[in-house]
């Protein structure tokens, strides 16, 4: 083992240090019978401060904007391809929800609510809107019409 340590020192794999912290060497026997030198970094890991995640999560960024009165845009002179967005573009974006067939079975209703739940952070009062359809999941028969609370929520 001493020969292995000396060879690693000569090759620059390990070096001397005057640090206040040291990691223990653990010797493990391989299947072949040879010894393998391992280092136990547990104490070092306990003292290491992990780097923060560099890219902020979208939800956190949007949450930090809540309550703001002013939003500005900095245009970096064609830094991005810019195309105007008209109101009919927005209706195309909503087409997936509007074209969704009316749920006839509880599994279809669960599927629709799951789809909508993905966007719940962008819909004000989402839980109030989805409360009537969620009541149907409580083992009641799936009956609704356009005038009922459930029908209005799904429409």
Choosing from 12, 28, 47, the residue where a domain stops is 47
User: Residue 81: its pLDDT value, please?
Assistant: 47
Q: What is the pTM of this model?
A: 0.38
Number of Cα atoms under 13 Å in the Cβ half of residue 86: 1
Range of weakest confidence among 96-100, 108-112, 116-120, 151-155: 151-155
pLDDT of 121 higher than 80? yes
Q: What 3-state DSSP class applies to 38?
A: strand
Give the CA distances from residue 63 to residues 74, 118, 131, in Å, rounded to whole numbers and listed in that order.
20, 16, 24
12: left (phi over 0), alpha (psi -120 to 50) or beta: left
Residue 62 lies in a domain: no
Q: Sorting pLDDT into bands at 50, 70 and 90, what band is 32? A: very high
> The domain containing residue 40 runs over which residues?
2-47
Cα(142)–Cα(122) distance, integer angstroms: 28
What is the total count of domains within the chain?
A: 2
pLDDT of 87 higher than 60? no
Residue 124 lies in a domain: yes
Residue 27 lies in a domain: yes
């Amino acid at each position: 083992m001493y020969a292995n340590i000396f060879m690693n020192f000569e090759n620059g794999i390990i070096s001397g240090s005057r640090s206040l912290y040291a990691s223990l060497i653990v010797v493990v026997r391989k299947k072949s019978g040879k010894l393998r030198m391992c280092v136990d970094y547990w104490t070092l890991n306990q003292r290491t401060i992990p780097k923060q995640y560099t890219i902020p999560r979208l939800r956190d960024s949007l949450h930090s904007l809540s309550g703001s009165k002013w939003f500005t845009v900095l245009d970096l002179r064609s830094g991005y391809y810019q195309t105007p967005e008209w109101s009919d573009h927005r209706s195309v974006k909503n087409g997936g929800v509007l074209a969704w067939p009316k749920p006839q079975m509880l599994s279809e209703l669960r599927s629709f609510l799951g789809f909508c739940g993905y966007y719940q952070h962008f819909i004000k009062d989402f839980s109030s809107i989805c409360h009537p359809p969620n009541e149907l999941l409580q083992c009641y028969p799936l009956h609704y019409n356009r005038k009922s609370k459930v029908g209005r929520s799904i429409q």
